[in-house]
Amino acid sequence: MGYLLGVDGGGTKTEFVLVDEAGQVCATCQSGTSYHIQIGFDGLRDCLSFGVHSVLDQVGATPADIAYAFFGLPAYGEDSAAEAMLDVLPEAVLGHRRYACGNDMICGWAGSLGGEDGINIVAGTGSIGYGEHQGASARGGGWGEVFSDEGSAYWIAISGLNAFSRMADGRLAKGPLYDIFMQEMALKTDLDICGYVFGREAPSRDRIAALSKWVAEAAGQGDRAALRIFESAGFELAMIVDAIRLKLNYAPDAPVDLSYSGGVFRCGSLILDPLQRHLEAAHPRYRFVSPRYAPSIGAVLYAARLLGRPFPLEAMQHFPTA
């Protein structure tokens, strides 16, 4: 049946995976952000063209050899006018319409849960949740960094910057976060952080989100403000998940499989502990499931599903685990 192509877009990076009909991963590639709000439609086309041709070149194939592709793109479905443009962009790269576009939340869900019923919460540059149950689907969160994306790396970074400013003013007691920010940004005075964030280049979404690693470092050193930020992040992500559970009409006593994806979860117990604690308070029958596959593999699984030829279990055993 030819190759299946999975594309997992994101606010920081975009992953491309080419898989044959036996489930063997034949080629992979990573490029930068595919967030069209940041890079524009021309930038998105260039991103997709680079990744698609890179994986095809690795196996000496052409776009005609792709049986089906799924492009999971950030912010897809959140602007009707933009959606029409996003739907046709891959055709300019592939030269055919054997593909579908959707929100990258689907990649996270399909990868983490292997395409089975349940909910996946994404906390990467942004945050969003998606689930499926008995043929129904629902999403929550993911309204963008200006007024939403709670619990995401961007939200954690902004909260950390706010805590730093309060510490600098004396509105908050100084903790390890203050010194970490001063040292990592090489600030001569605390007010120099304004130049670091605003003055040298436009404060892009992915560049701000990258500061979240310093908030995590401060939390690891016991900084109270940083620990509160991760506690709040866990609460916010739990509220997204539980809103999706209610939309999917799970029975009150039904178990709900829950998995997760995105860079924030590299913080481990720092984010997982408060997430699990707040979820248990909302619904005691959540079952945490460690992610089975990466979101890029999830995009491949979804492409096979849309083609009507899902991978059998023996083929899925070839996929690298998350």
pLDDT tens digit string along 93-130?
Answer: 999 999 999 999 999 999 999 999 999 999 999 999 99
What's the whole-model pTM score? 0.94
Residue 175's alpha-carbon distances to 184, 270, 310, in angstroms, are 15, 18, 52
212 and 297 belong to one structural domain:
no
> Are the C-beta atoms of 293 and 299 separated by less than 8 Å?
no
Within 221-253, residue ranges assigned H as helices are 224-247
Among 190, 195, 191, CA closest to 179:
190
263 and 129 within one domain: yes
321: in domain: no
- b/e code 202-226 from CB counts within 10 Å (16+ = b): eeebbebbbbbbbbbbbbeeebebb
Whether residue 94 is found in the same domain as residue 137: no
Instruction: Tell me the three state secondary structure of residue 82.
Output: helix
The answer to whether residues 94 and 122 belong to one domain is no
Nearest CA to 74 out of 153, 146, 144 is that of 144
At 94, which helix (H) or strand (E)? helix 80-94
In a domain, 170, yes or no: yes
Are residue 139 and residue 107 in the same domain, yes or no? no
Q: How confident is the model at residue 203, as a pLDDT?
A: 84
Examine the domain organization and report whether 124 and 57 are in the same domain.
no
pLDDT tens, residue by residue, 154-205? 999 999 999 999 999 999 999 999 999 999 999 999 999 999 999 877 788 9
Quick one: 271 and 281 in the same domain?
A: yes
- 70 touches 102 (CB < 8 A): yes
Spans of the chain, pLDDT less than 50: none
Q: Look up tokens 């600098």; give the residue.
A: 168
CA neighbor of 17 nearest in space, from 315, 256, 293, 307: 293
Residue 123 lies in a domain: yes
Closest by Cα among 159, 88, 113, 122 to 10: 122
Is the residue at 308 inside a domain?
yes
Distances (CA, A) of 257 to 103, 109, 112, 121, 241: 21, 11, 10, 11, 11
In a domain, 10, yes or no: yes
- Distance (Å, rounded) from C-alpha 62 to C-alpha 256? 42
Q: How many domains does the chain have?
A: 2
- Do 134 and 265 share a structural domain? yes
List all residues 6 or more positions away from 308 whose beta carbon is below 8 Å from its beta carbon: none
What CATH number is given to the structural domain containing 275? 3.30.420.40
HSE toward the beta carbon, residue 10, CA cutoff 13 A: 28
Helix (H, G, I), strand (E, B) or coil at 279: helix
CA gap 52, 16 in Å, rounded: 7
Q: Tell me, what DSSP letter sits at residue 148?
A: -
Are 178 and 133 contained in the same domain?
Answer: yes
* 227 within domain boundaries: yes
72 in a domain, yes or no? Answer: yes
Residue 315: which residues within 8 A CB-CB, separation 6 or more?
A: 21, 22, 23
Q: Which domain holds residue 192?
A: 116-291
> Would you call 42 exposed, middle or buried from its count of C-beta atoms within 10 A (0-12, 13-18, 19+)?
exposed
3-class secondary structure, 273? helix
pLDDT at 1: 66
Mark whether 152 and 268 lie in a shared domain: yes
User: Residue 89 domain-assigned?
Assistant: yes
Same domain, yes or no: 84 and 142:
no
70 and 96 both lie in a single domain: yes
Which tokens belong to 82? 């933009």
